[in-house]
Chains A and B, each alone.
Chain A
Amino acid sequence: MEKDHKAKEGIKGWINPAKYGKFGIERFAWILMRITGLGLLAYFIGHIYETSNILSGEAAWNSMLELTQTTEGHIFLALVIGMCVFHTGNGIRLMLVQMGYGLGKPARPDYPYKPQSLNMKGKACIYATIGIAALAMWYGVTVMFG
């Protein structure tokens, strides 16, 4: 008999792009939340190390800036801005949903059994968050590239 621990789809269930066509935008928001969360944590650790160079004097600080204030550095930072805005916006949406807001009211289900909780309000919030993140990235790029 199949062992219990093998009875899971595994990492394919997370990263298979075909899944995201079959399920709604909410699932895409879920995986994006994970990716941005991990990305932001990695950036945060790097940022704490990078800013500690202030203790090593002006020369060390300037050589650190030479590394980060480059075209690649600016593009990376723009990505970080996008990740941060998406993670924040979607996080706020999730907090509201998980407190029971925006889910609709329970009712006797009827054909075609469309789920109330996956409503246009929630989908619109996700698309808006992605849009605002893109706008923030664009603004960041204009500031950084002068």
Chain B
Amino acid sequence: MRTTNPKISEEKSETIVSSTKSIKLRIKRSNPEVNSEERFDDFIVPIEKWTTVLDALLDAKSHLDHSIGIRYSCRQASCGSCGMKINGKPSLACFTKISDLDSDTITVEPMDNFPIVRDLAVNFTRMFNNHKKVMPYVIRDDSEITSDSGVKETLQTPEDVEKYIQFSSCIKCGLCNSACPTMAMDTSFIGPQALAQAYRYIADNRDEGKKNRLKVIDESHGIWRCHAAGSCSQVCPKGVDPAMGIQMLRSYLLGIRD
């Protein structure tokens, strides 16, 4: 005679599988293509200890209001798509846990200093144009592959790489530009993202374009409108520390470094 497993038949139906905690998610809504109206919509969203702001936003979008405009992609702080202002501080939604915010009301707004497309999605054209101004690629005379040169590597030591690798972590999320106090007023300012990338290439010993890049940033709305407030480094989710790059870049223009 076979005996049944008593453990399975004893499983109770009231076993708890999820927490009952909820938070209020306040989302700033606007649609500049329709009108200039701005409002906050509130949503009550259930959360777990591991819920990120992006999870909560997508929960609200899936179950409560499909029209919420939001940009996201990788969900792992690699693509830089989900930058927004969370409780007043520019952050990546996928990289911010609600439990870390210590608040029952999470206010989510589009990043400052970017034109709004809709709700939480902003336009990156200006930031990308500024980025292109600093020629964000290695410039050297022998970079073309020809039939004579063939494919070759430009070797670097680990020490050479260490000088710029930090600044190459930039995911172009725009949080630094959003936090920068100069960008709050100066629409011509090139921005901490572009300046940090200018340093990334100047510090790369494969690059020979230092003079041209320094000429681009040495103007009245270039590097000199940075005043080392440090907010860019405070919000950077990848440890790029743009403030460090900008001050080191400045030392070239001041003649301290060659």
- Measured CB to CB, the residues of A under 8 A from B are 1-14, 18-19, 22-24, 26-27, 29-31, 33, 94, 97-100, 103-104, 106-110, 113-118
The 10 closest A-B pairs by CB, nearest first: A13-B184, A109-B239, A113-B239, A2-B115, A26-B230, A115-B233, A117-B244, A30-B229, A100-B251, A9-B184
Q: Which residues does chain A contribute within 8 Å of B165, judged by CB atoms?
A: 106, 108
In Å, the complex CA distance between A33 and B229 comes to 10
Main secondary structure of the interface of A (DSSP, over half): loop
Interface size bracket, B side: 35 or more
16 residue pairs of the A-B complex, CB under 8 angstroms, read A1-B117, A7-B113, A9-B184, A12-B184, A19-B88, A26-B229, A26-B230, A27-B230, A30-B228, A33-B227, A98-B247, A107-B162, A109-B166, A115-B233, A115-B234, A117-B244
Q: A13-B184, A30-B181 are in contact. List 9 more A-B contacts (CB 8 A).
A: A9-B185, A11-B185, A13-B112, A23-B230, A29-B229, A94-B227, A99-B256, A100-B248, A104-B244
- Tally the A-B contacts, defined by beta carbons under 8 Å: 150
B126 contacts A23, CB within 8 Å? no
Given contacts A7-B113, A99-B254, A117-B230, are A13 and B162 in contact (CB under 8 A)?
A: no
- Measured CB to CB, the residues of B under 8 A from A are 32-33, 88-89, 112-117, 123, 126, 162-167, 169, 179, 181, 183-187, 203, 227-231, 233-234, 236-241, 243-245, 247-248, 250-251, 254, 256-257
Residue of A nearest to B95 (CB): A113
In Å, the complex CA distance between A30 and B243 comes to 13
Looking at B169, B233, B248, the one whose CB has the most chain A CB atoms below 10 A away is B233
